[in-house]
Structure 1
């Protein structure tokens, strides 16, 4: 974010990645950097810690973060402003309609209404919200770490 600080960017969009830091979320910010020799842009990722005391951000969410006027700690330099997209709930940014694969949900609902709905089809209106299995089968609330060797039997190792 050193280059972003030079040009005065306060808000940045990023994706939350697993982290064990207390009261903070680890956010991966993607930048496109120009290679002037071949005149092409390449992705570069930078990880920043954003202050999130309520732990409302989960792994995979796209969030808007703001640079703090002064650092909270040596690592925490940003704060989470807003969750833009939750993981799994894909929304078209232009029309603000829910999307499944490459079609809008309302179009697939209309097709189901016209041609008849299959009994085994997934119903998005009846589906429970994300996080329902937290603590039982969902591992997003567990502390994660990198598995450094193949003999690790811990189910939370990533």
Structure 2
């Protein structure tokens, strides 16, 4: 009974950089209880979720569910929903957009009350800002993997471990 209930668990996590096609690598935060200290400590576990449309980017908050049968050796979960885009957090109770602990409308009210600088600088209009990804390939490279393995060398390099060359 408990094993079947564990299969239907939904997990929420953040997408991280990966190199697997048609998948999203999701880091899920878990809390482990230490009996000696009587405290919870955070730990992370990574899962690969099937994402055929590749709608997730690095930093997005997503909801995943365990697949009844593993798709590949790595892909064990499926992507249910993209909860938040990176940098576009919405309060789930009120439905308002949030910026670093304050609602956007509160920030706009404050700007109206105190005004913006005379030269026009100082205020950023979130309503007129374009969606994330509009500079993809030019200045926004969040769709690409950001980690390079510096210890792996290409064939022909003097430090490459090539069994044929030795």
Sort the TM-score into its range (normalised by shorter chain): 0.7 to 0.9
CA–CA separation in structure 1 for the residues paired with 2:100 and 2:126: 13
For structure 1, the residue ranges without an aligned partner over 5 or more in a row are 150-158
The answer to whether 1:36 aligns with 2:38 is no
For 1:136, the equivalent position in structure 2 comes to 138
Give the root-mean-square deviation of aligned CA atoms.
1.9
The answer to whether 1:105 aligns with 2:104 is yes
Normalised to the residue count of structure 2, the TM-score between the two structures is: 0.80
For structure 2, the residue ranges without an aligned partner over 5 or more in a row are 152-166
The 5-angstrom pairing of residues 56-95 of structure 1 reads 56-95=55-94
For 2:26, the equivalent position in structure 1 comes to 27
State whether residues 64 and 81 of structure 1, in contact with CA within 8 Å, keep that contact through their aligned partners in structure 2. yes
Q: Give the structure with higher Rg (CA).
A: 2
For 1:152, the equivalent position in structure 2 comes to none
CA–CA separation in structure 1 for the residues paired with 2:62 and 2:20: 17
The answer to whether 1:16 aligns with 2:15 is yes
CA–CA separation in structure 1 for the residues paired with 2:111 and 2:11: 39
Post-superposition Cα deviations, 1:119-154, rounded to whole Å, max 9, x if no partner, equal 2111101100000111111112223434436xxxxx
Residues 1:110 and 1:43: Cα distance change in structure 2 (over 3 Å): same
Q: Give the match's secondary structure for 1:12.
A: strand
CA–CA separation in structure 2 for the residues paired with 1:81 and 1:6: 18
CA–CA separation in structure 2 for the residues paired with 1:7 and 1:39: 25
CA–CA separation in structure 2 for the residues paired with 1:146 and 1:65: 27
Q: Give the match's secondary structure for 1:111.
A: helix
Q: Give the match's secondary structure for 2:125.
A: coil
